[in-house]
Structure 1
Amino acid sequence: MAPASPFNLTFVLFDGFSNMVLASAIEPLRAACDLSGRRLFSWQLASPEGAAATSSSRLSIGVDLPLASVGATDALILVAGYGVRDHLRRETLQAILQKVRGMPLIGGFDTGAWLLAAAGVLTGRRASIHWMEREALAEAFPEILVEDAPVVRDGPFLTCGGAQAVLNWSLDLIGHRADPALQFDVSNMFGRDPSHGNRPPLPNRPEPMQAGLLPPSLQRAVVAMRQTADQPQPLARIAERAAVSERTLDRLMRAHLGVAAGQYYRTIRLAHARALATETKLPLPDIAARTGFASASTLARAYRKHYCETLGESRRHGNQNRSPARSGDSRSCSAR
């Protein structure tokens, strides 16, 4: 039986947040209400000062109230993305600390775990964050156990590392607050296989995956490449983790992604370097070391060839606008 009163969520948006992450959280809840004909969930949007929040794709989203005015709510979810370090101001962290006290559910979506960590509420707890920030968070807050997991729940704290993880959490919330049948119907609306939980896979459905309909072996290879972006492994080792031969891995990459395996791996490392350049103040040699390039000059040449600009230029652009999706800023030279 559905609860008598709606489950209320407050999403606090910080400039640079991902539209996809926010939509992955709210749209399934909206669909659950529509399909059931019941007001199972309610939500409101807030921002640190009550002003409209600008997403990573530069869309301005109006909010209902400032963080300081948030009252009773069943869940307080911090949604951050690019430029999260710009929000680590004392007054913001104090407001977060004040609001999370006694809250039944406190969330950090995408890079929201940074804010919770900086506010000091994740000490001694497990947490997750977007994979590109995982190592940095672990280094900055050694008192937190940063896990290589899409979703981590530790007491009242919930952290999710990206849009897919948030979508799965939203579907799980529907199943918990309503029933499995409604969860199944909502997952079908969003093209998702609800077998991400404990259910067996549905027949004639593609494997659920992070980035399209890739074969399971190729999914494993992509995950392995992302996980080792800071310490690149030989392609033979990546192929071993994917349970295919190196030749088969390259063939699958070319067939499904249109690039050689080595080229795709390098693209992941360069994207990680770009994120480090725009999100941190690390010097070029340190960025090269963290992305597996032999030297700063090697990284600089590869980066300029791929992005048509230097790391320094990317860093300046990032300071002007934290979204790497600015027109002309994130294009690849090879795409010209």
Structure 2
Amino acid sequence: MRTKKLNNSEITAVGFLIFPGFPMSCLTSIIEPLRAANEIAERETFSWQLISETGSKVTSSAGVIFEPDVALSAKLDPAMIFLLSGPLSEFEAPRASNSVLRKLERTGAVLGGISGGVFPLVKSGVMEGYKCSVHWCYEAAFKSEFPEMLASGEVIVTDRRRYTASGAAAAFDLALQLIEERLGPDIALEVACWFQHPMMRGEGVEQRVPLKPSTDPALPDLVGRAVEMFVERLDEPRSVGDIAKALGVTPRQVERAFKKATGQSPSHYFRALRMNAARQLVLYSKDSMAQVAAAVGFSTTTPFVNHYRDAFGVTPKQDRGRINAFRVQGNMPLPST
């Protein structure tokens, strides 16, 4: 980790590259623990600055306007730089801005992304061969756009000089990890207690995912295994009969197990899983509706649109138009786990 000497102390310089519509909670969740660590340690261990591509003001997801300290094109020398954005964010001048990130990488800076910030980070070309944390809400869109990338459902992933975190609470955990590395576990714990952060989650901890019931130990084993088999290939969904055969039981046994555990038939339960995956692609990718339909196992768009409307009360096109209205206003709701 790059540091600089000042008054006989080492200061770790951190840059936060913010894009229009970035999740404000992610920024405050990582800066505030660093500030508290400086105060508890009674010395400036961490410094930080806000960066935007052009140096102009940036409106966050909550509509709060931030004035960056510097433009990305300025002379930067941070120990680490984190990108904060929504999943559809892009540089205005991608060639020049991505070049800056690659230059920082070559000079030894740690590069990272928080929440949707992993999308422009990967687009910059600095993540080839690295593993990264992807928020469960963006998983389908991320895999669609970057099928070659190794995406993880872990809260935090640090892979050599690449640090990624899935959301705001994960950003807080990442800050605690940085504090522990620089100032030790006692100060990291005190910082956590200051903010009543219930526990320090390190690497290897999986995100809590409400739409993956197979991870719920309360569900019967048969149901959990059936769900895992189904979600392996949403683009080629298996029939209840195929799943039952693979599990060595009868379709009737699968039907009864699902009805008892979830109150639904397996076919209705599986359709809901497909629709939830489809909604991620509708809201957080630029895929056409035909591509989205194919990704969740529909050969034509008509039945896909009908099932989507039944599930969410709007068509996929209407749903995307509604969220795009938020994005245009710079007030896009984003995950902040």
Q: Same fold (TM over 0.5)?
A: yes
Aligned residue for 1:147? 151
Identify which of 290, 293, 303 aligns with 2:295. Answer: 290
Of 91, 99, 103, the match for 1:98:
103
**8 Å contact 1:14–1:87 — kept in the other structure?**
no
Name the CA distance, whole Å, in 1 between partners of 2:261 and 2:39.
41
Question: Does residue 38 of structure 2 align to residue 33 of structure 1?
Answer: yes
Question: Residue 82 of structure 2: which of 66, 77, 81 is its match?
Answer: 77
1:158 matched residue in structure 2: 163
Q: Number of matched residues?
A: 306
Q: C-alpha deviations, 1:104-126, integer Å up to 9, x for none?
A: 31112223232232222222333
Cα deviation 1:74-113 (Å, max 9, x = unaligned): 1111112242257673333233333433133111222323
Give runs of aligned pairs for residues 94-243 of structure 1, distance below 5 A. Answer: 94-138=99-143, 140-141=145-146, 145-150=149-154, 151-188=156-193, 189-194=195-200, 196=202, 210=208, 217=217
Q: In the alignment, what sits opposite 1:277?
A: 282
> How many angstroms does 1:15 deviate by?
1.5
Please report how far the alpha carbon of residue 169 of structure 1 lies from its aligned counterpart in structure 2 after TM superposition. 1.4
Aligned-residue offset at 1:186: 1.9
Which secondary structure state, in structure 2, belongs to the residue aligned with residue 6 of structure 1? strand
CA distance in structure 2 between the partners assigned to 1:129 and 1:86 by the alignment: 20
Between 1 and 2, higher relative CO (CA 8 Å, sep ≥ 6) is seen in: 2
The offset of 1:14, in angstroms, is 1.0
User: Which residue identity is paired with 1:148?
Assistant: S
RMSD (CA atoms): 4.4
User: Is the contact made by 1:15 and 1:55 (CA closer than 8 Å) also made in structure 2?
Assistant: yes
Aligned-residue offset at 1:290: 2.4
Q: Which one of the candidate residues 11, 36, 45 is aligned to 2:16?
A: 11
Contact in 2 for aligned 1:88/1:115 (Cα 8 Å): no
**Other structure's SS at 2:99 match:** helix
**CA separation in 2, counterparts of 1:211 and 1:139?**
19
Shift in alpha-carbon separation, 1:312–1:138, aligned structure 2, 3 A: closer
Instruction: List per-residue Cα deviations over 1:157-206 (Å, max 9, x = no partner).
Output: 222233333222111111111111111122232432126469xxxxxxxx
Distance 1:62 1:97, change over 3 A: same
Question: Which of the residues 311, 318, 325 maps onto 2:316?
Answer: 311
Task: Measure the CA separation in 1 of the matches of 2:50 and 2:18.
Answer: 7
Partner of 2:4: none
- Once residues 67 and 324 of structure 1 are traced to their aligned partners in structure 2, the CA distance between those partners, rounded to angstroms, is 24
Q: Give distance in 2, aligned partners of 1:33 and 1:246.
A: 58
Report the TM-score when normalising by structure 2: 0.70
Structure 1 partner of 2:250: none
Distance 2:232 2:203 in 1: 23
For residues 26-50 of structure 1, the C-alpha deviation after alignment (integer angstroms, 9 at most, x for no partner) is 2221222233333221111111111
Q: Map Cα deviations across residues 286-310 of structure 1 (whole Å, 9 max, x no partner).
A: 2123245685333323433454432
Q: TM-score of the superposition, structure 1-length normalised?
A: 0.70
Deviations 1:257-306 (A, max 9, x none): xx999989866654543342244332223212324568533332343345
CA–CA distance in structure 1, aligned partners of residues 69 and 295 of structure 2: 40
**d(CA) in 2 for partners of 1:59, 1:30:** 20
Secondary structure of the residue aligned to 1:122 is coil
Distance change (3 Å), C-alpha of 1:262 and 1:69: farther
Separation of aligned partners in 2, 1:167 and 1:230: 35
Distance in 2 (alpha carbons) for counterparts of 1:197 and 1:11: 22
Matched, 1:63 2:68: yes
On the 8 A contact 1:109/1:162 being kept in 2, the answer is yes
Maintained 8 Å contact 1:218/1:253: no
Distance 1:281 1:107, change over 3 A: closer
Alignment partners' CA distance in 1, 2:10 and 2:70: 22
Q: In structure 2, do the counterparts of structure 1 residues 135 and 186 end up closer, same or farther at CA, with 3 Å as the change threshold?
A: same
Using a 3 Å threshold, how does the CA distance of structure 1 residues 211 and 42 change in structure 2: closer, same or farther? farther
Give the one of 47, 50, 55 matched to 2:52: 47
d(CA) in 2 for partners of 1:251 and 1:325? Answer: 45
**Is contact 2:23-2:85 (8 Å) kept?**
yes
Give the unaligned 5+ runs of structure 2: 1-7, 248-253
